[in-house]
């Protein structure tokens, strides 16, 4: 690997938007680390990317497993000495359909959702931040959702007004808050931190009625992962447009 070749870690990258993000970054010459909680599925995904001429490595990474997080950070330090791009893509949605009633959603669903979509993401980001500080241009992309935008959820008549999935929505709102706070702390450094909404994408989570394919769904993550020095930080974006928090 040349000194100029960037290294990107993408969580939940063995399928869906994560895999497509890895593919698009890889085709730009980035070494992609395919984070997957199932090691075999991660290896299979990395092999598929390699067959396309991409420098891909599988990383066993169940984001809610602290041992995996620590081991992955130590491995990246030994192997590369730095990390240039972190795409926090892994997420779950346990609400199902239009969501549970907010008044009856279980503590189990709330805690499990936040464990993956919020707490694990923060733990991983904190664990690899020393490696991102060693990059000439560190980039953190937090894959959120427009469901995390209070400004879009609140107005009656908005496109997503009737789609209330409380546990998922609240976890993404919390993630957006993390983006704002971390970007503020890192202002003045070479690290940029942004949230993105990938769109309604045809994945296991999005379903087959979704309006966007995987290529379009990964586009915003890739754009924010490869921002130039004059790019934004502390923002919330979808396909080049800034979203309201």
Q: What are the residue numbers of the active site?
A: 168
- Tell the residue number behind the tokens 């009625």, with chain if given: 209
* Cα 116 to Cα 36: distance, rounded to the nearest angstrom: 13
Q: Which two tokens stand for residue 180?
A: 């704002």
Torsion of Cα atoms, 136 then 174 then 143 then 194, to 10°? -30
* Cα 19 to Cα 42: distance, rounded to the nearest angstrom: 10
| Chain-centre distance for alpha carbon 71 | 19
DSSP-derived secondary structure for 68-85: HHHHHHHHHHHHTS--SE
Q: Which residue, 39, 139, 128, is CA-closest to 81?
A: 128
| Chain-centre distance for alpha carbon 95 | 19
- Tell the residue number behind the tokens 């937090």, with chain if given: 142
């Amino acid at each position: 690997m040349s000194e100029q070749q960037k290294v990107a870690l993408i969580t939940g990258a063995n399928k869906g938007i994560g895999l497509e993000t890895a593919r698009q970054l890889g085709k730009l010459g980035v070494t992609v680390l395919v984070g997957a909680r199932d090691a075999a599925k991660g290896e299979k995904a990395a092999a598929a990317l390699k067959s396309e001429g991409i420098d891909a490595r599988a990383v066993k990474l169940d984001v809610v497993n602290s041992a995996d997080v620590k081991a992955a950070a130590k491995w990246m330090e030994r192997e590369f000495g730095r990390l240039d791009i972190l795409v926090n893509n892994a997420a779950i949605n346990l609400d199902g359909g239009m969501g549970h009633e907010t008044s009856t959603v279980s503590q189990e669903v709330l805690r499990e959702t936040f464990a993956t979509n919020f707490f694990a993401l923060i733990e991983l980001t904190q664990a690899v931040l020393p490696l991102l500080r060693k990059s000439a241009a560190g980039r953190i992309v937090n894959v959120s959702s427009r469901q995390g935008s209070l400004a879009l959820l609140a107005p009656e008549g908005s496109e997503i007004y009737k789609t209330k999935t409380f546990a998922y929505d609240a976890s993404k709102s919390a993630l957006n808050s993390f983006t704002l706070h971390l970007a503020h702390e890192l202002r003045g450094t070479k690290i940029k931190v942004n949230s993105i909404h990938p769109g309604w994408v045809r994945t296991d989570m999005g379903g087959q009625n979704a309006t966007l394919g995987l290529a379009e769904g990964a586009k915003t993550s890739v754009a924010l992962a490869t921002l130039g020095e004059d790019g934004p930080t502390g923002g919330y974006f979808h396909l080049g447009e800034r979203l309201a928090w």
